[in-house]
């Protein structure tokens, strides 16, 4: 049975049945997390002397404590946990055990680290207690996976855990269509002076400022240029310049990151490096993230003779700034 607390068989069965009949929380992998749509896959632990295992918790608070005490990543305040309710069809406890067994994961840890309420056991023992049919597996198959199988004429379905929604997931960098319409109107508004425009945008989050930057650069400026409206283009460039200063000042107060290509800073084909204001999407691309201060980032650009930087969340809107503008704003802030 592998029971940690040396309970009798009858007591252990009672404890596990109580766990499984109520809501549980499953520890998820941050490495496999999709932090745009808010899902991930169960975290597979290497347990001393027991091989691979899964972690389940009877309360969200116990799960959060475990994440914090064991230094698991918490991306932008989002804990890597999924809620598993009784009667769950796709990701039922039985399905998860069946997939785990197929993958060679034979151990389940309930409430690890909690004295008197922790219990560890094997999947074969759970199969005996609940009568699980570990040969029946319900899987989600993506269109991409299906197309790849058809290309190979492969009848064998690759088995992995199904994606699970991250509990209490939120994406603070998502800009809704409704909010975009409001932001779209700002460059069309006539302001009596620069201060009024500055007062409008100064409290916007970086995600909205980067969106505003994109529409000025990609929509309104090309339109003014096509119309031959130099006065309009000059006003838009002035708006962009103020926006640039606001973004740089906000970045100086945040934890920021840059992308690495191997051990070097990643510089794209337009000779621009990336400065990110969150690391929540770090496992969704081919590049690694490195934490770096704004001052450190600018120094690195200057040393490498890179003239431009792209400010972004990763998948979100992008703001193009120059090394010179960042240095100028930083120097002003020091005096």
* Tens of pLDDT, residues 62-90: 999 999 999 999 999 999 999 999 888 88
Provide the pLDDT confidence category of residue 270 given band limits of 50, 70 and 90.
very high
CATH 3.40.50.300 fits 9-165, yes or no: no
For residues 168-197, average pLDDT: 94
Residue-level pLDDT at 225: 94
Residue-level pLDDT at 259: 97
Q: How many CB atoms lie within 10 A of CB 118?
A: 17
- Which residues of the chain does CATH 3.40.1350.90 include? 9-165
Determine the Cα–Cα distance for residues 197 and 279; give it in Å rounded to an integer.
30
Residue-level pLDDT at 135: 83
Residue-level pLDDT at 150: 55
| Percent residues over pLDDT 90 in the chain | 76
When the pLDDT of each residue in the chain is averaged and rounded to a whole number, the result is 91
In this structure, are residues 313 and 257 in contact, taking their beta carbons and an 8 Å threshold? no
Residue-level pLDDT at 10: 84
Provide the pLDDT confidence category of residue 5 given band limits of 50, 70 and 90.
very low
Is the pLDDT higher at 148 or at 208?
208
* Tens of pLDDT, residues 119-150: 899 999 999 999 998 887 777 665 565 555 55
Residues 6+ apart with CB under 8 A from 73: 30, 80
In this structure, are residues 319 and 283 in contact, taking their beta carbons and an 8 Å threshold? no
Grouping H, G, I as helix, E, B as strand and the rest as coil, residue 210 is helix
Residue-level pLDDT at 114: 84
CA angle 105, 106, 111 (to 5 degrees): 100
What is this structure's pTM? 0.85
In this structure, are residues 213 and 247 in contact, taking their beta carbons and an 8 Å threshold? yes
Is the pLDDT higher at 116 or at 229?
229
Residue-level pLDDT at 155: 59
Residue-level pLDDT at 137: 78
* Tens of pLDDT, residues 283-297: 998 899 999 999 999
The helix (run of H) or strand (run of E) holding residue 274 is strand 272-276
Grouping H, G, I as helix, E, B as strand and the rest as coil, residue 273 is strand
Determine the Cα–Cα distance for residues 122 and 152; give it in Å rounded to an integer.
36
Provide the pLDDT confidence category of residue 115 given band limits of 50, 70 and 90.
confident
C-alpha torsion sign, points 316, 202, 198, 308: negative
| Percent residues over pLDDT 70 in the chain | 92
Residues 6+ apart with CB under 8 A from 68: 74
Is the pLDDT higher at 135 or at 224?
224
Is the pLDDT at 242 greater than 60? The verdict is yes
Provide the pLDDT confidence category of residue 215 given band limits of 50, 70 and 90.
very high
């Amino acid at each position: 049975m592998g029971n940690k607390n040396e309970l009798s068989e009858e007591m252990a069965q009672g404890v596990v049945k109580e766990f499984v009949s109520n809501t549980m929380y499953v520890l998820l992998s941050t490495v496999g997390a999709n932090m745009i749509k808010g899902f991930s896959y169960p975290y597979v632990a290497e347990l001393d002397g027991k091989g691979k295992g899964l972690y389940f918790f009877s309360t969200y608070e116990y799960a959060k404590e475990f994440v914090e005490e064991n230094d698991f990543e918490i991306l932008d305040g989002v804990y890597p946990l999924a809620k598993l309710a009784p009667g769950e069809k796709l990701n039922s406890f039985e399905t998860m055990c069946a997939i785990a067994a197929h993958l060679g994961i034979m151990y389940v840890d309930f409430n690890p680290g909690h004295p008197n309420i922790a219990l560890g056991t094997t999947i074969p023992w759970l199969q005996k207690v609940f009568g699980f049919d570990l040969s029946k597996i319900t899987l989600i198959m993506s269109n991409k996976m299906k197309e790849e199988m058809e290309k190979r004429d492969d009848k064998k379905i690759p088995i992995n855990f199904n994606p699970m929604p991250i509990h209490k997931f939120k994406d603070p960098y998502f800009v809704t269509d409704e909010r975009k319409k409001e932001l779209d109107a700002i460059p069309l508004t006539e302001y009596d002076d620069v201060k009024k425009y500055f007062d409008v945008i100064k409290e916007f989050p970086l995600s909205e400022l980067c969106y505003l930057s994109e529409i000025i650069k990609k929509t309104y400026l090309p339109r003014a240029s096509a119309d031959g409206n130099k006065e309009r283009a000059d006003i838009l460039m002035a708006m962009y310049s103020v926006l640039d200063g606001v973004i740089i000042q906000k970045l100086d107060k945040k934890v920021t990151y840059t992308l690495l290509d191997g051990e070097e800073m990643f510089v794209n084909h337009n000779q621009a490096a990336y400065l990110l204001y969150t690391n929540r999407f770090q496992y969704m691309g081919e590049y690694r993230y490195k934490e770096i201060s704004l001052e450190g980032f600018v120094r690195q650009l200057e040393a490498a003779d890179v003239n431009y930087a792209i400010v972004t969340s990763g998948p979100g809107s992008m703001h193009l700034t120059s090394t010179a503008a960042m240095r100028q704003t930083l120097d002003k802030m020091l005096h």
